[in-house]
Amino acid sequence: MANAAAIGLSLRDLYLFNKGNLFHSYRTFGAHPIRLGDETGVRFTVWAPNAKRVRIVGSFNDWNGYQHEMELIGETGVWSLFVPSIGPGTVYKYEIQTPDGALLLKSDPYAFQSELRPSTASVVAEVFHFNWNDGDWHQRKLEDSPYHEAMLTYEVHLGSWRNRGKELFWTYDEMAGALVDYVAEMGYTHIELLPITEHPLDQSWGYQATGYYAPTSRYGTPEQLMHLVDRCHQRGIGVILDWVPGHFCKDDHGLRLFDGTPIFEGKNWKLAEKPLWGTLAFDFSCTEVQSFLISNAIYWMDVFHIDGLRVDAVASMIDLHFDKPPELYTYNAFGGTENTDAIRFLKRLNETVFQYFPDALMIAEDSSSWPAVTSPTYMGGLGFNFKWNMGWMNDMLRYMALDPNDRMRHHNLITFSLVYAFSENFVLPLSHDEVVHGKRSLLNKMSGTYEQKFAQLRLFYGYWMTHPGKKLLFMGGEWGQFDEWKDAEALDWQLLDYQAHGSMHHYVKTLNHIYSAQPSLWERDCDPGGFEWIDVHNAAQSVIVFMRRGHATDEFMIVVCNFSYHHYSDYRIGVPESGEYRIALHSEAATFGGVLTDIPEVLYSKPTPWHGRPCSISLELPPLSIQLLVVAKGSLDRNDRFTT
């Protein structure tokens, strides 16, 4: 048995790990360059409770671990060894002898860096001493509440935002220049990265991982990723990581049967199997797995300064029958289909993250109807602070695909979301999931002719931006990418040379900046008082009118949407007060690809009651259009008015 103290390990930390309470376990496990006495080297530590023997093999010993056999520390199931005279850059694996005598070669579950696929070994890396320059960003986060701030997220797959050809990826460093500058110029407040944890198959987009602590080597080193995050923060952009705690891939070098037995996936194979994805679920009842996963969430925020996690596939975690055939059905102790272990894990995860990072973003990608996902755990909730609004997304994409002549019979698709809009703290996602696998691009989902598709997309984006909830758009949507997302190719940047797509790009950029400049569009996203219907029942004309309010009494915006093919030359809407109103944005302005070159500077209210309001305005409604109106005394100055 090893002397833990002699190699710089704490028995208390290992006890906490075994109990599921070591939330910085990455400082104990994995490969750590250290100094012991007069020697420098690397301390390797791994959990393999059922192994007969564990050795370290790698480039430093010609992959023969005879002289580098690890020592078991007490009854912890943890093995460790200090190897002198090696350091960062050392390539290694664990050679594990299973209970039945077989030998396995396994990557380190806590590896901070991995070889570039198809190679699968781990790489010793120093990740704890990066020179950060984002202090101002973190101070600002402490002073702001995410519920009352703008959140306009650009979702990015780094391998296909730009590249030089098949498998010729840009590096994290290159992205720290071009991508960050582009996102800042476009007016986005956050970047969300598709999973960048190490994964063997490009086509999985990172959702089937083998290295939870290793940023994928496809794009460079851990230090280069830190540079990307640091540059984002210096430009005022938050970084969200798509995180996948629900399941892992079955590749032999990964977590599956790690020591010859199912320690990460658990013994119940019916519970572990994810047949739809060909993966294995984590055993959320296992305390060591809890330490591993919760530490991983903390790791990305602590070591890489990630601002938040979008937690993937929550519905698949909490439902024992999710996408499973009957022969794999299991039930909890009460006879139900809720995964009570996963539910307890998610609550504990969120409690722990917010204990260490109170300003973190924990966003649930949850397609279920599970209640109180964004309520605190002490109130019975899961403890996230935001949730993707999948219902809104599905209803609106279905509505926009309809022929406008049929929309009067489906008016509820655009109004129903307001029945539950404040039941959770929502993000309105237009994500990668909606533009792959035959679903068509957002532009190509719109009905009508080529020109009408663009008009409809402008209308849809305007409604999306003004509907309560934070926002997320997948890359390429900002100029109306016509083809589906192709993960092995770069986005179709050449489309910006075409007038229709260039105009759409200009429209989205303008819309983004108006959003950021107007507190009424985000200050009260989670407050029913931030939204008022003005005209909700006009199904016959497919017109809706509503108002967004900020904290200040004179801070509001009126939104007028015409989802029909019809032109209404004298459409009257009620307004809350008399005065001059300006059109802050008109989707049919010629500069955005529309048909209007002469848009009035000012609209004057009249003391004619309408829609239950004391005053009203008459305005022209072109077909398939949206207009945003602000009181002339509002916060937009003349330079912020983008209509012609």
Strand partners, 472: 153, 429
551 within 8 A of 527, measured Cβ to Cβ: no
69 DSSP 8-state letter: B
Domain end residue (candidates: 472, 490, 521): 521
| 45-49 average pLDDT score | 98
Kindly state whether residue 129 falls inside one of the protein's structural domains.
Answer: no
Return the CATH number at 552. Answer: 2.60.40.1180
Maximum C-alpha span of the chain:
91
Domain end residue (candidates: 57, 88, 123): 123
- Taking 60 as the threshold, does the pLDDT of residue 483 lie above it? yes
Q: CA 450, CA 145: separation in Å to the nearest integer? A: 42
Residues 93, 165 within the same domain = no
pLDDT for position 640: 44
Residues 426, 549 within the same domain = no
Long-range contacts of 412-421 (CB under 8 A, 24+ apart): 414/463, 414/544, 414/563, 415/536, 415/544, 417/389, 417/391, 417/392, 417/467, 418/468, 418/531, 418/533, 420/391, 421/389, 421/392, 421/467, 421/468, 421/469, 421/528, 421/531
Q: How far is residue 237 from each of residues 197, 240, 531, 644, measured CA to CA in Å? A: 21, 10, 27, 29
Residues 508, 554 within the same domain = no
Q: CA 600, CA 606: separation in Å to the nearest integer? A: 16
Q: CA 611, CA 572: separation in Å to the nearest integer? A: 9
Kindly state whether residue 433 falls inside one of the protein's structural domains.
Answer: yes
Q: Which of 312, 424, 478, 620 is labelled catalytic?
A: 312
pLDDT tens for 440-451 read 999 999 999 999
Residue 122: what residue type? Answer: S
Q: How far is residue 358 from each of residues 61, 123, 335, 353, measured CA to CA in Å? A: 45, 32, 36, 7
Catalytic annotation present for 365: yes
Kindly state whether residue 442 falls inside one of the protein's structural domains.
Answer: yes
Over the range 508-522, which residues count as b (16 or more CB within 10 Å of their CB) and which as e? bbbbbbbbbebbbbb
Residues 513, 542 within the same domain = no
Indicate the average pLDDT of the chain: 95
Kindly state whether residue 136 falls inside one of the protein's structural domains.
Answer: no
Residues 281, 355 within the same domain = yes
| Alpha helix segments (H runs only) across 416-557 | 417-420, 442-445, 450-466, 499-517
- Taking 80 as the threshold, does the pLDDT of residue 643 lie above it? no
Kindly state whether residue 424 falls inside one of the protein's structural domains.
Answer: yes
pLDDT tens for 321-366 read 999 999 999 999 999 999 999 999 999 999 999 999 999 999 999 9
User: 417 by DSSP, 3-state: which?
Assistant: helix
Cβ within 8 Å of residue 381, ≥6 positions away: 372, 373, 374, 375
pLDDT for position 635: 37
Q: CA 492, CA 476: separation in Å to the nearest integer? A: 8
Kindly state whether residue 473 falls inside one of the protein's structural domains.
Answer: yes
Number of domains the chain is built from = 3
| 423-428 average pLDDT score | 98
Q: Which of 365, 395, 525, 555 is labelled catalytic?
A: 365
3-state SS, 373-399, equals CCCCHHHCCCCCCEEECHHHHHHHHHH
Kindly state whether residue 130 falls inside one of the protein's structural domains.
Answer: no
| 299-328 average pLDDT score | 97
Catalytic annotation present for 108: no
pLDDT for position 2: 65
Kindly state whether residue 135 falls inside one of the protein's structural domains.
Answer: no
Residues 366, 443 within the same domain = yes
Exposure of 333 in the CB half-sphere (CA atoms within 13 A):
3
Domain end residue (candidates: 89, 106, 123): 123
Q: CA 263, CA 605: separation in Å to the nearest integer? A: 69
Residues 152, 87 within the same domain = no
Return the CATH number at 105. Answer: 2.60.40.10
Residues 501, 553 within the same domain = no
Domain hosting residue 58, numbered range: 5-123
Residues 248, 208 within the same domain = yes
> What pLDDT band is residue 47 in, cutting at 50, 70 and 90?
very high
Percent with pLDDT over 90 in the chain = 95
Residues 495, 594 within the same domain = no
Residues 509, 408 within the same domain = yes
Residues 461, 334 within the same domain = yes
pLDDT for position 476: 98
What is the pTM assigned to this prediction?
Answer: 0.95
